[in-house]
Chains A and B, each alone.
Chain A
Amino acid sequence: MRLLVREALQAFRRAPLLSALSITTIGFSLYAVGLFALVAVNLREALRSVEERVEVVAYLLRGTPPETIAQASQDIAAFPEVARVTFVSEDEALKRARQELVEFRDAYRDLSVNPLPASLEIQLREGYRDAAHTAAVAERLKGYGFIEDVRYGREWIEKLDRLRNIAGLVGLTIGLAFAAVAVVIIGVTIRITVLQRAREIAIMRLVGATNGFIRGPFLLEGMLKGLFGGVLAVALLYGTYLLFRSQVQLATSGIVFLESPQVALGIIFGVLIGLGGSLVSVGRHLRNV
């Protein structure tokens, strides 16, 4: 075990330039994947903030008794899709209209009768904010006798759906492509390391080293390179993130960084590529000699 660690660490010392090059290559490959992940995460975050505005409004018939409304609110709140039900009375509706619709302020001020109906505003849970679920909830609301009309931005939600699907698909495709490129580049880098040490491997075999013994230090070396590359990628990514945050002042939603589990996953990905790349390269080399 000590020998394994010593040999793996000596590999760094003996070929510092090549080791630095491999780590940088792994780092930048993972950085590219990470940048993409960062964009994807922020895009998703932006979509989510838009999604939060998905709501269904049920307008109530004038004169509906408050008890009926209260009971119905409870029923509706129990729908699996529903996150929250808010009752907006006729007076509140008018007050809001006066506040929000500045252009009509004069018109609303002189009213003797409030023309606005009371309503229930229904927020949907995350994961249910798509066209199909929204329509289903709207349909069920229409079943209540005291509900006069149900409104939700059907077209808008459908567009959001499409956007979400496209973003998901493009994200997955590009993400996989980036990851594949990273795997290939890292694989080639490790292969160079193995070829550079072909002579050493040949001598090891000559003096009776088992394949397992030869492989061990390479695998550890590959894992360490993956680890250092992963850490480098995270550092680069965080630097980029800070730079962006200081340069781009987004008034509404700030840019978010990857969460710790995602960062950990990226580094683990690096370690696994390092290990896998070494396993394949050394394995192939040992089979061929």
Chain B
Amino acid sequence: MIRFSHVFKDYPKGVALKNVSLHIAKGEFVFLTGHSGAGKSTMLKLLYGELRPTAGDIRVSGFSIGDLSPADIPRLRRRLGIVFQDFRLLEDRTAEENVAFALEVTGCRQDAIASKVMRVLTQVGLAAKAQAYPQELSGGEQQRVAIARALVNDPTILVADEPTGNLDERATRGVFQLIREINAGGTAVVMATHDLDLVKQTTYRTVELREGTVVFDSGVDDGAGEEDE
């Protein structure tokens, strides 16, 4: 599903990733931890094709990130759901419109959109607030809308970059619970987080980065013999 092989990523200011190799299987839940600047966000950006590796090979859902053509990027992203710390919702659209937007860009039929949107808004517990604008929602609710948007295209992988970073404890618990449910439904989750309490609550695989290298991997799995997409 996801495979990093000897990946290096250099920025003009320095090295972000050094020789990272990692395999994440279908349906797996993986925490990416580490201090700020350890390389977590770089790994995620490589994953969804925002960055290209300086060296090494990255395979995500059948795409080779180093060789992505401009036309491949939208196709890759339609297989992923991406969630950020700052939600990234369009302020001038309602919750429903924000979610529908992700379907519209894929050319989904108009008559199918409404029911799909309601399905995911119900799944994240926000069906009642479909007509609310982001500024009318709490942080936790906004993140739920963002998750609904990420889910609406039935992604095989959910990429979450500090999804609870802006939330209070209660909202954090709720959002994390939601992500766990999504994973239970078969979607692989790669979640970068600072929140070690969250990590400790579960037995999910944890990968720790420090200065661009993997220094700890709780569930090393070389993926040998596993069918990769």
Contacts and interface: CB of A to CB of B under 8 A. Distances in A.
A203 interface: yes
Interface string A215-255: 00000000000000000000000000000000000000000
Contacts of B92: 14
A208 B105 contact: yes
17 contacts: A2-B110, A3-B104, A199-B88, A203-B101, A204-B101, A206-B48, A207-B82, A207-B101, A207-B102, A207-B153, A208-B78, A208-B153, A209-B106, A210-B71, A211-B70, A213-B74, A213-B105
Interface of A is mostly: helix
Contacts of A2: 110
Contacts of B88: 199, 202-203, 206
Chain A: interface residue count, which band?
10 to 19
A207 B93 CA distance: 15
Nearest to B70: A211
Contacts of B74: 205, 208-211, 213
B211 to A, nearest CB: 28
Contacts of B89: 203
Interface in B74-99: 74-78, 82, 88-90, 92
Contacts of B82: 206-207
Complex A-B, nearest 4 residue pairs according to Cβ-Cβ distance, in ascending order? A209-B105, A208-B77, A208-B78, A207-B102
Nearest to B76: A208
A177 to B, nearest CB: 37
B15 interface: no
B108 to A, nearest CB: 10
A211 B105 CA distance: 10
Interface of A: 2-3, 14, 199-200, 202-211, 213
Contacts of B78: 207-208
B137 interface: no
A200 B90 contact: yes
Contact of B77 (A200, A207, A213): A207
Contacts of A3: 104, 110
A208 B104 contact: no
A206 B89 CA distance: 11
Q: Which of A199, A200, A203, A208 has the most CB of B within 10 A?
A: A208
A208 B106 contact: yes
A13 to B, nearest CB: 9
